């Protein structure tokens, strides 16, 4: 049982969650399964199909209610906007389970974020981790719209696209394809800084949360045996991580925003 | 019954229902309706964020299965969840019996 009312409801839910139309992360799939199961139950109890769907939608509550609750669940409640979190406790608490990420490539979406379809993920994937001739003009002039970095979990089943800036897209694409520029670019400099200090070690980059349509990340460092975390944009973190061969993770709590296979 | 008292105890109710065995969200909600004779009137959709939260806290685990060609997330109580359930159920019983003593005095 699939109805236009259910489709519309799920679209509203995606909008309230701030995710791209057509994407179906876990919460969307669960709500879809729920609505169909619930409507089917009503039909079995003798309710006409049209009404059954309406009832199911009414009983589940508004998309906004669900979205607010789910975003609250996955936002990092322990971190205030500007207050630094005690590093020690953070380092310990975040050793739970995280999702290891591979960078699949840099893609380009000519459509605005909210018009992007799931299929755009693969078809617009331009720069993959393989050496080939890279013409920077292709990145700067050859595409319309916005670049995104596409990541996947270890199995490749779950995907996580994050829209990023053009400069960061170039930085990631260069590194993915093993291209060295004559002079160190900004992310090369950051990577060199991190690797040139003896008592400083970069452990990993972690995508920590999604808040108000913005992904947050942090560099996790060890300085003279002490854990240090540095707030960063995911794109900067990824650009640095792939230069240094440092693993990239997403908090397990972000699982709900991944796109399932 | 008003919604707020239910919301405050939703975690406990979900843990209690899942202590009978793994289930998906809709089955949990149906069971909740059934056991409470429909007394707990809640926005069904909010059960899913609550399930996600319990999982991030390590009280539940979950995995995909398929039903009727649709993906379906199945939740199961973890050992930690079982312990939390026993603890919270005991607290709740204590609260209820204390309330009753006061109200019926």
The H or E element containing residue B24 is: strand B23-24
Tell me the CB-side half-sphere exposure of residue A1, using CA atoms within 13 A: 23
Phi, psi dihedrals of residue A106, rounded to the nearest 5°: -105, 130
CB atoms B46 and A61 under 8 Å: yes
Residue A138 pLDDT > 60: no
pLDDT at A201: 78
pLDDT at A139: 54
B44 touches chain A (CB under 8 A): yes
Total Cβ atoms within 10 A of residue A36: 20
Q: Comparing A26-40, A58-72, A79-93, A242-256, which segment has the lowest mean pLDDT? A: A79-93
User: Which residue among B26, B50, B52 places its CB closest to the CB of A38?
Assistant: B26
CB atoms A29 and B52 under 8 Å: no
- pLDDT tens column, A95-131: 457 888 989 888 877 776 556 666 777 666 666 555 4
What number is the average pLDDT over the span A28-56? 93
B58 touches chain A (CB under 8 A): yes
CB atoms A33 and B71 under 8 Å: yes
Give the Cα-Cα-Cα angle B54, B58, B61 (nearest 5 degrees): 80
Name the A residues in 192-231 with CB < 8 Å from any B CB: none
Strands (E), chain A: 98-109, 125-127, 146-152, 159-163, 200-211, 214-223, 226-232, 248-251
A11 burial class (0-12, 13-18, 19+ CB within 10 angstroms)? middle
pLDDT at A235: 96
Q: Which residues of B touch A33 (CB under 8 A)?
A: 24-26, 67, 70-73
More confident position, A50 or B7 = A50
Residues 6+ apart with CB under 8 A from B99: none
More confident position, B92 or A156 = B92
CA–CA distance from A57 to each of A52, A118, A143, B43, B81 (Å)?
9, 25, 41, 10, 30
Among chain A residues, the shortest Cα distance to B63 is held by A26
The H or E element containing residue B53 is: helix B47-56
A102 touches chain B (CB under 8 A): no
Provide the 3-class DSSP secondary structure of residue A226.
strand
A36 touches chain B (CB under 8 A): yes
Determine contact, residues B2/B40, Cβ cutoff 8 Å: no
Phi, psi dihedrals of residue A76, rounded to the nearest 5°: -85, 95
Determine contact, residues A78/A85, Cβ cutoff 8 Å: yes
Nearest to A118 by CA among A150, A140, A146: A150
- How many Å separate Cα A195 from the centre of its chain? 27
ipTM of the assembly?
0.88
| Alpha helices (runs of H) in A45-129, residue ranges in sequence order | 49-60, 63-74, 87-93, 120-123
B45 touches chain A (CB under 8 A): yes
Residue A206 pLDDT > 90: yes
pLDDT at B77: 95
Nearest to A106 by CA among A74, A82, A80, A130: A130
pLDDT at B15: 96
Phi, psi dihedrals of residue A81, rounded to the nearest 5°: -60, -50
Among chain B residues, the shortest Cα distance to A261 is held by B71
Determine contact, residues B75/B51, Cβ cutoff 8 Å: yes
How far is it, in rounded angstroms, from Cα A85 to Cα B62?
30
Length of chain A: 261
Phi-psi region of A61 (alpha: psi -120 to 50; beta: other; left: phi over 0): left
The H or E element containing residue B17 is: helix B3-18
Length of chain B: 105
The H or E element containing residue B61 is: strand B60-67
- How many Å separate Cα B76 from the centre of its chain? 11
Shortest Cα distance, chain A CAs vs residue B81, angstroms: 16
More confident position, A259 or B78 = B78
Shortest Cα distance, chain A CAs vs residue B87, angstroms: 23
Nearest to A6 by CA among A57, A49, A48: A57
Residues 6+ apart with CB under 8 A from A19: A25, A28, A257
Phi-psi region of A126 (alpha: psi -120 to 50; beta: other; left: phi over 0): alpha
Nearest to B25 by CA among A255, A20, A59: A59
């Amino acid at each position: 049982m699939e109805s236009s009312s259910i489709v519309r409801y799920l679209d509203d839910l995606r909008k309230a969650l701030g995710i791209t139309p057509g994407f179906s992360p876990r919460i969307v799939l669960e709500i879809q399964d729920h609505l169909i199961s619930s409507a089917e139950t009503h039909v079995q109890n003798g309710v006409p199909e049209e009404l059954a769907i309406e009832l199911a939608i009414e009983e589940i509550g508004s998309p906004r209610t669900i979205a607010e609750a789910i975003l609250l669940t996955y936002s990092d409640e322990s971190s205030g906007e500007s207050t630094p979190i005690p590093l020690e406790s953070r380092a310990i608490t975040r050793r739970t389970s995280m999702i290891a990420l591979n960078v699949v490539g840099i893609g380009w979406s000519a459509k605005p974020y909210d018009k992007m379809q799931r299929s755009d993920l693969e078809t617009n994937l331009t720069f993959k981790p393989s050496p080939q001739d890279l013409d920077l003009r292709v990145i700067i002039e050859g595409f319309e719209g916005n670049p995104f970095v596409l990541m996947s979990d270890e199995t490749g089943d779950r995907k996580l696209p994050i829209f990023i800036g053009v400069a960061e897209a170039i930085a990631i694409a260069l590194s993915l394809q093993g291209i060295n520029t004559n002079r160190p670019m900004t992310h090369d400099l950051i990577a060199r800084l991190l690797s040139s200090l003896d008592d400083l070690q970069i452990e990993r980059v972690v995508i920590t949360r999604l808040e108000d349509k913005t992904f947050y990340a942090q560099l996790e460092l060890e300085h003279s045996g002490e854990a240090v975390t540095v707030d960063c944009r995911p794109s900067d973190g990824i650009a640095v991580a792939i230069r240094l061969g440092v693993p990239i993770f997403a908090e397990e709590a972000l699982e709900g925003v991944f796109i399932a296979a | 019954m008003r919604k707020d008292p239910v919301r405050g105890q939703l975690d406990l109710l979900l843990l209690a229902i899942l202590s009978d065995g793994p289930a998906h969200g809709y089955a949990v909600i149906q069971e909740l309706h059934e056991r409470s004779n429909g007394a707990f009137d809640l926005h069904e959709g909010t059960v899913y964020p609550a399930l996600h939260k319990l999982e991030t806290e390590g009280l539940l685990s979950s995995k995909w299965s398929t039903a009727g060609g649709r993906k379906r997330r199945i939740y199961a109580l973890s050992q930690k969840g079982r312990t939390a359930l026993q603890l919270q159920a005991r607290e709740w019983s204590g609260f209820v019996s204390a309330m009753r003593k006061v109200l019926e005095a």
